[in-house]
Structures are given as structure tokens and as C-alpha cells.
Structure 1
Amino acid sequence: MEFASEKKQELLSKIARSDRHGEHSLYFDGWKAYDKNPFHPTQNPDGVIQMGLAENQLCFDLIEEWIKNNPTASICTSEGVGKFKDVANFQDYHGLLEFRQAVAKFMGMVRRGKAAFDPDRIVMSGGATGASETLMFCLADPGDAFLVPSPYYPAFNRDIRWRTGVQIIPVECHSSNNFHVTLAQMESAYTKAIEANINVKGVILTNPSNPLGITLSRETLTSLLSFTSRNNLHMVCDEIYSASVFNSPAFTSISEVMQETECNPDLVHIIYSLSKDMGLPGLRVGIIYSYNDQVVNCARKMSSFGLVSSQSQHLLASMLSDEVFIEKFLEQSSRRLAKRHSRFVKGLEQDRIHCLEGNAGLFLWMDLRHLMKESTFDAEMKLWRVILEDVKLNVSPGSSFHCPEPGFFRVCFANMDDHTVEVALKRIREFVSKGNENGDDKKLLQKKHRQNLNLRLSFTSRKCDEGLMSPHQRMSPHSPVPHSPLVRART
């Protein structure tokens, strides 16, 4: 017996039928282009270079060296196999005590000892994606909302909204203020939401910022923490890039600010991960650190749905407890990120391309407004298509990050080797030079890029996401959702 497609759809849940995951997005075109034609220095030198992946591959050599020198840290070596039974057996969802102690200690080191963390408040999750969603389940009900400064991380639409039913209210920041969020902007957005009868539960800050690559000042954090406490709102700080700061000013954690600010600690929560700062996204280590006992207890129960492998916990407990190694790693990571960031900025400046002055993260916020025919999101998309299809660079358009102004692009710089960096900069240089030879850069934007007419141009409603896909990885052609980065790890 055959059923109408509508009837079949009704057999599924609302989540399965919904479009809130954000998978249908222009952002996918870049990933599909890369998947179909990935750059390789010798096998495919004309392929697409992946510059949309916020991944830190600059310090793998240090971790590999540590693993070789510490064979007992792994249960898969002859030296460490004696621990195999203990680690492989059932583990409580509280996590290994030595792992929680090591993570708490590491978080304190990253904050230069200005804040201490209690291992009993460390809650595990499957990456920052799982941590973010779990925290939302603890703090809000469907229909409740959080204020988020924009531009913001695209996958918040998935992590925060999709299964929880929570809303995101963008707090628009602008280039006139270098995209810094202000108390006045936050208060205005909050007032408008209340007037619209929206139940605002809190504020979500990403510090350091993805995609801007900047840190929030102590003054800004203090004013916003006072604002949330005064209005009985939750303060959620995503600090997954806290050890990826390579220039001044230094990183200031909300954990430091709350010690100096009159606030309700029950309303303060931190999201953390080892995916960025340690360059270990595949190990899926996400952390919730809450100062609220009820949140810790509830999140710990929910963590059963996304625990960190006990093998990963065992290895990382040993690695993170090695203070000499961690100090060396953090110093080297900062130095290498600074060097790579400087190389990209100087290379772009030679081509008259400027970026927001950044000091953290794995990316640049690139300003290409001068290359657009007009200041519209349609023009931004056309420029992006030229860069993707002709220049063969997968950078991320600002509209993907809910940027209120067209013409900005996020460029990731830490997920490639030095040779690929030079190839990317050379392609940009040739692109700009070609435009100059034609007497007008903007003539390049009038080319063939009008296919995909079914693409949505409603930028305010566009849901975007990023995936974690190493340059050498491919998604199986048998995947039910081919080439979809949304089913991969958060980046």
C-alpha cells in the first residue's frame, strides 16, 4: 500500500520534519565545492583550498612527541595495557576523577592562575556542541530566548535552537565600533524583546569571538555581567578559544570578572572544549562548568547521552597533568598562531585587503567591501561565488555569521601547512591584480554566477553551520546526507 508523501511525513517527529537544524544553507555550497575538488599540493594543485575550517593543526608535532615519550598514558601500548581493564569497564557519568582534576587544573593555567576551578563542577559532554545544547536544556524551555551579539558562530542555530526550541535574539554590532558589543546595545535588544512578550532567559557571549578573532575587555564583561545579574538573567560564556590568544590584550575570563563584580554566581556558566586550544576536535571533549549546583546535577545526568570516551579521559588526564609539557605547548601554540596570523595579515595588506585587528582564535575577519559593486548581501554572495568558483578558496561569507553588514568574510588560517598558505595568498593576489588590470575589481562580479536560483536570499532567516572535516577526509558517498558538514563536529 502506498501512502501520500504528506502522510509519510506525519509519521515522523516534529524535530525530524523541521528545518531548524540549519542544513539548507548557502554555506553548504562552499563545503560541497571543497568536497568535490579538494586542494592537494601535488595531486590536485588547482583544487579548492579549505579556509572555512576553524581547526588548529599547528602543534600536532608537540602532542605526537609527548605521546611517544609517555606510552603508559595509552591503554593501547604494551606499557599501558595494564590499565586496559579498568578503563574499558563501565565508567560513571561523573567521569574519571583524574580527568576532571586535570581539566580543572588546565583551565586555571590558561587563565594564568587568576581563577580556580572545582573538579566537582566539571561536567563532560561530547564536544562543545553537546555542552551547549545540554546547558540550554538546563536553563530554558521551548520558546525562551537568549541574547547573542552578532556576528556570531553559525552553528548556534543547531547547538542552541534545534532540539531545545530555544530562540536566539541577535544583538547587532557594527563595523563603526569594530563590532564590539556595548551595554547600550544589549539593553536595547532586551527592552525590545520584553516589549514583544519574549521571555529572555540570558545572554550568550563567545570570548574570544568566533568569527571576529578578538577578546572581550574586562570593562565590557563587567558591565554585561552586572546587566544580567540585575535582570536575573543567565550569563553563558563560550570560552573555547581561551588559550588561543596570541597578541595583547590578554584573555579575561568571566570567572575572573565575577570575583570582582556584584553578581549572582548561580547565573554564571562556562562552555569549554579541548577542540581548539589543544587541537583535538576528534576526541570530542566538551565541558560545562557551572556555578549553579542544580545545573551541575542536571547536566551531569544529561551527560549520559554524550560522554567522553574513558580512553580519551585516561590519555588526557595524564597529558593535561604534565605542567612542563602544557606550559611549553601553550607558549608554542601562541607563538605559532601569532606567526601564522601575521603572515596572513601582511599578505592580504599587500593586496590592499584589510582585516579587523585580531588577537585570538584561528581566523581573520576580512573586509572586502571595496570589491563589491554595491553594499548588499546579494553582492556579497556574488563576490563569494567568484572567490569560491574562480579563485577556489572556501572562505565564509559574513551573512553566514548573521553579520548585519555585507562585505565581511571569515578566513581560517591554522588548518593548513605553510605551502598551502602561500598558494592561497598567491591566488588572492592574482584575483585582485586581474581586477586592477581590467580597471575595475567589480567587473569580476558580473560573471557567470547566477546558477542555483533556488537559493534563499532571506539573510535574516538563513541558518548556517560549520563542520569539522580535516583536509584529507571525505564523507562517504553512501551517507544519507552527502557532503553535509552539519553532522560533523563543531568548529
Structure 2
Amino acid sequence: MSNLSFLSKKGAAASKSPMRIDLEIYYEAMENLYHPETNPSGALPMNVAENHLCWEMLRDRIQKVTRENTIPEWVASYTDPAGAPSFREATAEFLSKFLMHVPVNPDSLAFSGGATSTIEMTSFLLANPGDTAVIPAPSYPVYSGDIGTLPEVKRFDLQVPSKPINSEYQFDLQLLQEAKEKIEANGSNFRMLILTQPDNPTGRIYSESLLRKIADWCIQNQIHLIVNEIYGLSQLDIQNPNLKAFYPQASPFVSFGKIMSEYQSPFLHFWYSFSKDFGISGFRIGLLHSHNEDLIQAYRNAGLGHSISNYTQWVIQEVLLDHGFLKTFFESFQQKLTESYLIVTQTLKKLNIPFNPSRGSLFVWMDLSEFLEEKSLKGEEKLWLEIYEKTGILITPTNGFGHSEKGWYRIVITSLSHEELKVAMKRLSDFIQIKRKG
């Protein structure tokens, strides 16, 4: 008898469904990491969205907190499942000063253990099983599991016009109306629209005017609009002399939190996590911001099992209160992020490899369709494996992004140091040149 017979239906399904298809190879690569002296032919994993660029700065600041401060009494006790009051206050100040630039009410925030937990909890509380969440494609593959495994919400990939020459999303709201009609014709309910900005994987942003139009449409149709700004401070310096010419009429980045503050609508929500901008994915801190008081209360009532460690809340709270450090930290991070972006994109330009101009995030979305033996999922997977086997570079496979165009791949630009990134680009250049020679 199979062990699966002892599981629930969801348990059996989960046992057969890996979180992402590249994890096994990722673990293999992590056991064989590149080192310039001891392992010069080692692997260079660039598939997992981690930011290692300024960890040393943050680690030093965290060590200062733990060395110079006495742990408060509340850390050892239960606290509000939505987040300790002092932690919510420190985070509200941080969001207000560095991202949203409007006052943020601490009572509009609810926390849980990482972005995945926040997405799962929000989906569970806003949508019924069988409802549909619409997500512009290409987009984060693991959204499917986050909204689907426990909340049982379906994913609908909205195919928006692909314009690699543009770093901003531009699409007609008629696409949303058509999606709504199609979803309802299939017996489901268009319950949620999820946007990410800067986007994963394209790095695009939404102009303030488009965000307002989308918000108006969602409110009118009683659809919950959630904007995920997990990369909100992972912005490129588009005034850099090597980049400025590529963004001649760029719209300013405007946080959705600013629009929410004005609208005060129960249908508008915001996600954030400290994983990417701060480079502390292992700390597991995700948050929901909403002016829907019932949603925040529901999050508090149902979220005890998703709570963040009080010790983690206290340590990060102390870091967040040091605005002088945060200013220096993000200036350094954005400078290093821009340098990483230039190392990758200047290589791609020399190789005449198309890519989507980015405004932020940790990625470059590049078009390798020239090298596909066939424009199919099978062809994409074969090329992805060939790149890894011949170069040691592990990029993110295309499976799950929901993109109708074949041959686009995501490359994480913040998981390696600048020197390691140059090694990776040299290997990629050699691979492409050999492929073109046939």
C-alpha cells in the first residue's frame, strides 16, 4: 500500500507537487559553489531571488542591536498575532518615510512569517475556494502554490502586450473586462487582481495614472486589488550616466500605498516583505497593509499559527528605528544593484540578446528564444539544462511564469558578488558564441 493512502487529498497532491521544479538542481549547485581559487569551475546559482549585496552592512547593525541592548520582557511572551504594537509602529514609520511617503496607521498592518504566508493568508481571507486571481504575465511562478495549495484559489495569467523597449506596464483595461467575462463563463469568480511592482521578472513598474485606473475599475467591479511591493526599494538609479539615455520619459515610481491612503477603499491592499530589499529572506517577515478593518481583524483572529518570532520582531524593530542607518543602507544597496544590472545588461547588449529594460527588482528578463530547438516548454527546459550543464550557471526555468512567448528566462543579479557576476557573464558569453557558431 502506498504511503500516500495515509494522507489527505491535499496532502497527497502536495507530496507529488514540488514547490518549484529547479530546487533539486539548485541544491546540487549549492554543493558545488564557484570559488576563484578552490573551485574555479564551480556552479553559479542565479535562479533563487535572494539579495546578498549589502548583508555585511545589515549584519553589523543587527549585531550592534543585540550587543548593546537588553532584550525587553515582551519578547518572551505572547503578543498580538498581527504583530507586536511597537514593531507595527516602527514598520509604519519605515513605510511612511522610505516607500509610501504618506502617513501609515500601524493598525492597518498585519504580519506573518514571510511573504508566502502573507499571500496565503490574504487569499484565504478574501477569496473562496474556486475563485480566481488574475495576474499579469509573466509573473512569479510560486504565486500558483501560495494562492492555490491551501486557499484553493485559481490562477489566471493575463497576457498583456509584451514591449521589451518599455520599462512600464501599458495595457488597456478592456483586457481585465475580457478576463472577467471569460472567468465567469467558466463558472468562477474574478475575486482578486495581483500586481507586483517593480515586477518579478520584468522589472517593470506601473505609472500612477495606470494604477489609479486599475483601482477605479476594481472598486467598481468589487474586485480586490493587491499590489505587491516586495521589491519597492530595489530600484535602479536610472540617472546613472550609463542608464539615463534608456529612460527618456520615465514615470516616477509611486507606491500603491500613496493611492490607498487617498482612496481608503476596502478593496485595495498592499503586500510587503523584508526579504528582498533588506536581503534577509531567512528572517521570514511579511506584511499586509489594508484599510479594510474587517480584513485586518480576520488576519489577527486566524493568523496565530503564522506569527513571527517576537525576538525577530524586536531586532528588526530596532534597526527600523535607525533612519540614518536605513538611508545609508538603501543608498548603498541601490548603487550596488545598479552596478549588478549594468554588468549583466552590458554583456547582453554586446551579445545582441534582447531583454526587458528594468526599473527595479533583483532580475533581468532576457530573450534566449534564438537558441530554442523548438518553441515549447520542452524546448525551454532543454536549453535551461544545457546552460547549466555547460556553464554551471543556473538561471530560473520558464515553467510557471505564465508567459505565452517562449524563450524568455529570468536571471537573478543579486545572488552573486560583482566579481562572481563577471565570471558568470564571461561563461554565458562563451556559451552563446559557441552556440551561434553551431
Alignment TM-score, normalising by the size of structure 1: 0.81
Q: Does 1:43 align with 2:31?
A: no
Deviation at 1:35, TM superposition (A): 4.0
Contact 1:111 1:251 in 2 (8 A): no
CA distance in 2, matches of 1:184, 1:426: 44
Partner residue of 1:310?
310
Aligned to 1:252: 254
Q: Give the structure 2 partner of residue 324 of structure 1.
A: 324
Compute the displacement of 1:124 (Å): 1.1
Paired residue for 1:180? 169
User: Does 1:271 find its partner at 2:259?
Assistant: no
- Match of 1:402? 402
Q: Are 2:264 and 2:291, in contact at CA under 8 Å, matched by a contact in 1?
A: no
Q: Give the equivalent residue in structure 2 for 1:229.
A: 219
In structure 2, C-alpha distance between the alignment counterparts of 1:287 and 1:256, rounded to whole Å: 17
Would you say 1:97 and 2:85 are equivalent positions? yes
Selected match of 1:80 from 69, 78, 86: 69
Residues 122-171 of structure 1: per-residue CA shift (max 9 Å, x gap): 11100011111111111011111111111111111121110111111111
**Correspondence list, 1:77-476, <5 A:** 77=67, 79-81=68-70, 83=71, 85-111=73-99, 113=101, 115-176=102-163, 180=169, 182=171, 183-248=173-238, 249-258=251-260, 265-436=265-436, 438=437, 440=438
Q: Which runs of 5+ in 1 are unaligned?
A: 441-491
Matches within 5 A, 1:25-40: 26-28=21-23, 30-40=25-35
Q: 1:176 offset after TM fit, Å?
A: 4.3
Letter in structure 1 aligned against 2:169: H
Q: Within 2, Cα distance between the matches of 1:190 and 1:400?
A: 22
1:376 positional shift:
3.0
Contact 2:100 2:256 in 1 (8 A): no
CA-CA distance at 1:9 after TM superposition? 3.3
The 10-residue stretch of structure 1 (372-381 or 334-343) with the greater mean CA deviation from structure 2: 372-381
Alignment deviations for residues 423-477 of structure 1 (CA, whole Å, 9 cap, x no partner): 10110111122234x3x3xxxxxxxxxxxxxxxxxxxxxxxxxxxxxxxxxxxxx
Say if 1:432 and 1:11 are closer, same or farther in 2 by CA, change over 3 A.
closer
In the superposition, relative to structure 1, how do residues 259 and 66 fare at CA in structure 2: closer, same or farther (>3 Å)? closer
Alpha-carbon distance in structure 2 between the residues aligned to 1:257 and 1:229: 13
**CA-to-aligned-CA distance 1:180-236 (integer Å, 9 cap, x gap):** 362222221111111222112121111111111121111221121111111011111
**What RMSD, in angstroms, separates the aligned Cα atoms of the two structures?**
2.2
Q: Deviations over 1:288-338 (max 9, x none)?
A: 111101100010122211211111111111111111111111222111111
Letter in 2 for 1:173: V
Structure 2 residues without counterparts, runs of 5 or longer: 239-250
Q: 1:116 to 1:353 in 2, by over 3 A?
A: same
- Aligned identity (percent) is 28
- Kindly indicate whether the alpha-carbon contact (under 8 Å) linking 1:399 and 1:406 is maintained by their aligned counterparts in 2: no
TM-aligned CA distance change 1:342 to 1:21, over 3 Å: farther
Distance 2:217 2:31 in 1: 48
Q: Any conservation in 2 of the 1:20–1:162 contact (CA below 8 Å)? A: no
1:14 aligned partner? 9
Give the C-alpha shift of residue 345 in structure 1.
Answer: 0.6
Q: Secondary structure at the match of 1:397?
A: coil
- 8 Å CA contact 1:174, 1:405 repeated in 2: no
1:90–1:232: structure 2 CA closer, same or farther, 3 Å change rule? closer
Distance in 1, Cα, partners of 2:310 & 2:37: 39
Query: 3-state DSSP class of the match of 2:366?
Result: strand
* TM-score normalised by L of structure 2: 0.90
Q: What is the number of residues matched between the two proteins? A: 423
1:18 aligned counterpart, secondary structure: helix
Match of 2:57 among 49, 59, 62: 62
Q: Report the secondary structure of 1:401's partner residue.
A: coil
